[in-house]
Amino acid sequence: MKIGLLNGGGDCPGLNAVTHGVVGAATQLGWEVIGFKEGFEGLLSPGSFKVLKNEKTEGILRMGGTILGTTNRGHFSGKVGEGGVRKIPKELMEEAFTTLRNLDVEALICVGGDGTLTTALQFDEEGFPVVGVPKTIDNDLAATAMTFGFDSATQTVVDALDRLQTTADSHKRVMVLEVMGRHAGWIALYGGMGGGASSILIPEIPFSYEKVAEALAKREANGFRSGLVVVAEGACPVGEDLLYKDTSTGGEHRLGGIGIEVTKRLAELTGKETRCTTLGHLQRGGSPTSLDRILATRFGVKAVKLIEEQRFGRMVSYQQYHVGSVPIEDAVRQLNLVDPDGEIVQAAKSVGISFGD
């Protein structure tokens, strides 16, 4: 049997570990794996694939990036605007199906976030067997408790805060760190707690600049020389609109710029020297953590198992320490957002972290 494998959307630590898991499990069954380059776009370009042998993927689980490449642009972008779904033209899908059939590929594993899985769902609805694997550093897919890449991105935030703390203390500054996450605050919340932030601003809790400034003033009155403020790119002040870097990409709009605005406003309100750092794609790069390597490998193995059982149209899912599966349709239906009244937010507030509310 031949199966296909592709990555879609943004890059993410752990993608190569998924490939390692898929190829290893498929080899045990005597199957062949065809890896398509640059996501779904590889289905439109003759020769844009590689045969993935077990001996060629043995050491890749520790590598960042992806040996197959990926893209969040092109003919198969499944998302438009803010959460809108783009219907893939039937003739385009037929062209992709022809490529798969000519290579004798009987099922396709699609690794990606909600955009990639939205396209995968359309493949399934048109009759081609697919299995989804959730991939996003944002941890915002509701049908799985965790996605690989999230732990690695969070560790990058913690490392950055550790470094910013020393320079903040040296100059008695407020350091603002803008992180990724789109409309979910998981990276900011976990990274901020792990890195000792004094304030964490997330999309799920509209904030007040004055409240954040008050929290910083209270810290200073208690003898603290500096402050660390983590702000998610999708965080929004009460009564104001989201800030975007770019709304002309044709796909999902790019958030960004709130870190600079927070820096400017806090400097005005506190009178303290305030600086901004935007981590950006540093959160996507580098080697995955051990947790992400193991989780991604398990996801790859489970995807192969679903094909063996002919349970198509499903996405690998991690719940209560167990790797199972759910219908892809359930995975793309809603986002996994931080509960403002949840235990982890309350724990953060109990140790004095301000959310600006």
DSSP codes joined into one string, 191-216: HHHHTT-SEEE-TTS-B-HHHHHHHH
- Two tokens, residue 28: 């045990």
Is residue 326 in a domain? yes
**Do both 242 and 317 map to the same domain?**
no
Report pLDDT for 241.
Answer: 79
**Do both 221 and 318 map to the same domain?**
no
Classify each residue of 144-154 as buried b or exposed e, where b means 16 or more C-beta atoms within 10 Å of its C-beta. bebbbbbbbbb
Residue 142 has phi, psi (to 5 degrees) of -70, -25
Is residue 181 in a domain? yes
Distance CA 73, CA 155 (A): 28
Which active-site residues does the annotation give? 138
Is residue 142 in a domain? yes
Report pLDDT for 9.
Answer: 85
Average pLDDT over residues 311-326: 95
Distance CA 221, CA 87 (A): 56
- Two tokens, residue 68: 């197959």
pLDDT tens digit string along 176-230? 999 999 899 999 999 999 999 999 999 999 999 999 999 999 999 898 988 999 9
Report pLDDT for 80.
Answer: 52
Report pLDDT for 239.
Answer: 86
Q: Which structural domain range is residue 59 located in?
A: 2-148+288-331
SS3 293: helix
CATH for 255:
3.40.50.460
- Two tokens, residue 340: 């403002």
In contact, 198 and 177? CB cutoff 8 Å: no
Is residue 215 in a domain? yes
Domain count, the chain: 2
Domain end position, chosen among 262, 285, 308: 285
**Do both 226 and 311 map to the same domain?**
no
**How far is Cα of residue 293 from the mean position of the Cα atoms in its chain?**
15
Distance CA 38, CA 241 (A): 34
Q: CA nearest 93: which of 106, 75, 116, 110?
A: 75
Is residue 54 in a domain? yes
**Do both 272 and 174 map to the same domain?**
yes
Is residue 341 in a domain? no
- Two tokens, residue 92: 């385009």
CATH for 70:
3.40.50.450
**Do both 278 and 306 map to the same domain?**
no
**Do both 273 and 298 map to the same domain?**
no
Report pLDDT for 82.
Answer: 55
SS3 245: strand
Is residue 251 in a domain? yes
Is residue 353 in a domain? no
**Do both 210 and 92 map to the same domain?**
no
**Do both 109 and 165 map to the same domain?**
no
pLDDT tens digit string along 47-87? 899 999 988 888 898 998 899 998 877 777 655 555 567 78
Q: Which amino acid is at 290?
A: S
**Do both 277 and 156 map to the same domain?**
yes
**Do both 129 and 31 map to the same domain?**
yes
Average pLDDT over residues 259-268: 95
**Do both 266 and 202 map to the same domain?**
yes
User: Residue 19: how many CB atoms within 10 A of its CB?
Assistant: 28
**Do both 177 and 58 map to the same domain?**
no
User: Residue 255: how many CB atoms within 10 A of its CB?
Assistant: 23
